[in-house]
Amino acid sequence: MKILVLGAGGQLGRQLCAELADLGEVTAATREGRPVDGAPDACLATADLAAPDSVLDLLDQMRPDIIANAAAYTAVDAAESDEAVAWAINAQAVGDIAAWAARHGSLVLHYSTDYVFDGNAREPYPEDAPTSPAGAYGRSKLEGEVLLASSGAHYLLFRTAWVYAPWGKNFLLTMLRLAGERDELRVVADQIGAPTSVALIAQATRVAIAAWLAALPRERQVLEGTYHVVASGQTSWHGFAQAIVDAAASAGQLARHPVVMPITTLDFPTPARRPAYSVLDNRKFQHAFGFPLPDWTVGLTQVMDELCETKHI
């Protein structure tokens, strides 16, 4: 079984390389073709979704059975003035990958976002809720979804949100850094979501792939489609930051315990509008694959324990 992980140098891609290794031979593709930390046994390849020919050439050379596309343009604010590039990576490249997979019978794993919704809901969004992205990033990701779903390829599309890891650039690591530097942190309290660790997403991905591989052709068609893969429960960015700081302080990893002050979205303006409500209903995935998606606090505890064990905080 040949598995290609695109975007292997990112938060999720790195975790996927390690998690999927027991399913087959993993090739880790990054823009620079560099080794991926945490996945020393992965084969290396170079692929840049902004240069479609490089991706299609790699697909032709490798002919993977499974393509896990963890690559994306995720600079939400920059996308407002750089929409063409966001569109090329998040939409056009996805369409090219899906078309190749349809021709060769490969399975595509693709990851999308809560930003395809408007953020005005009052209860968790199900998979079939109307989409209405408010910005360029969300529009580009939604177009990628549409191109994948209409390609005729075998696919599993996982929407997720508020993603973090013990490495890379993310909210958790930013809060830990700032907590070590400041006596007060000011964090938005009127945006609601479910912080989701890359470990949970990668574990769910492995379970879904294994179920698809074990299924009969007719059963595979039932499994394919769009799912929400996020932790359960909900909090605000302020609540997430408070939990991070409290956990680090309890572990004796902070010289000071800064105050975490709630602010509003209006107090922290950004070029792109953030969804006020990003909670995704994850029951469909849990029912389809028998895999629990626990409360967001469980993932936070696991990541904080890992950071303490490796002395990264």
Q: Is 202 helix (H, G, I), strand (E, B) or coil?
A: helix
- Would you name the residues annotated as active-site residues? 137
DSSP H helices, 32-74, are 52-62
**Cα(202)–Cα(33) distance, integer angstroms:** 21
**Cα(303)–Cα(308) distance, integer angstroms:** 9
Give residue 160's identity as a one-letter amino acid code: T
List phi, psi (to 5°) of 102: -65, -40
Would you state the structure tokens that stand for residue 165, as one six-digit string? 């890891």
**Cα(290)–Cα(284) distance, integer angstroms:** 10
Pairing of strands 235-236, 225-228: unpaired
Q: Is 114 helix (H, G, I), strand (E, B) or coil?
A: helix
Task: Note whether 65 and 2 are within 8 A (CB).
Answer: yes
Task: Note whether 171 and 196 are within 8 A (CB).
Answer: no
Task: Note whether 161 and 196 are within 8 A (CB).
Answer: yes
Element (H, E) at 185: strand 184-188
CB atoms within 10 A of CB 169: 11
Spatial neighbors of 36 by CB under 8 A, at least 6 apart, are 8, 9, 13, 14, 17, 28, 30, 42, 44
Length of the chain: 313
DSSP state of 40: T
